[in-house]
Amino acid sequence: MLKTVIFVAFVLLIALGGGAGSAWLALESTRTIGSVEIGPWVTFPRQGTHEADPYSRARSTRLGQLSLGQAEGIVLVAGSDSAGRPLLRQCTYQLQGDLPPTRFFTLHATGENRQILSAPARFSSALHSRNLLWRHGQPLKIVVSARPQPENWLAVAGTGPMELVLTLVDTPISTGARVGETSLPGITRMECDV
């Protein structure tokens, strides 16, 4: 009798622990159910729609995010560079490449708690498409660094991991089924202050 009770308790412990652990991993990971990867960028194209999976809805709720509607835009997150190495605040990165057609976009960095990283004094912690230098006929080029950089510079401060968040507003890829076939800027590590 005691063996049966212990066995049932053990099985319940494994079931509850495994279920809770897998749900926690699904909520914490950026590459999970419903995600689409485009180079280093990850997006959830169904987020903010009635077709969103329960994990995407729970992730948005847990983080306090207001999801864009499918016709409004799409949010892309990169936690690693194009070579697969984690993004670090003490490193300098270059984003270079073409963006899909979009009316407006923003780029900012977030920390471990997914809050926007503060920039050094007098500098903006985010960039948007209307405050960048554009060269006619050339792809977008932005440098993310703790050190001042010429031209388009996203200032970050401190050390530790970070993620880059690119929000495209009013873009056709947010409503299309071919999100994974679009071209986005690559992320190249230039140097690191280790």
Domain coordinates in residue numbering, the chain: 1-30, 35-192
Looking at residue 99, what is its pLDDT? Answer: 87
46-99 pLDDT, tens digit per residue, is 665 666 667 766 766 666 666 666 667 888 899 999 999 999 999 999 999 988
Q: Which residues contact 156 (CB under 8 A, 6 or more apart)?
A: 89, 109, 117, 119, 144, 145, 146, 162
Task: Please name which of 119, 110, 182, 187 lies closest in space to residue 154, comparing C-alpha atoms.
Answer: 119
User: pTM for this structure?
Assistant: 0.78
Give the tokens for residue 193: 């202050």
Contact by Cβ (8 Å): 151, 158: no
pLDDT at position 26 over 80:
no
Q: Is the dihedral of CA 16, 23, 49, 37 positive or negative?
A: negative
Domain 35-192 CATH superfamily: Domain of unknown function DUF1214, C-terminal domain (2.60.120.600)
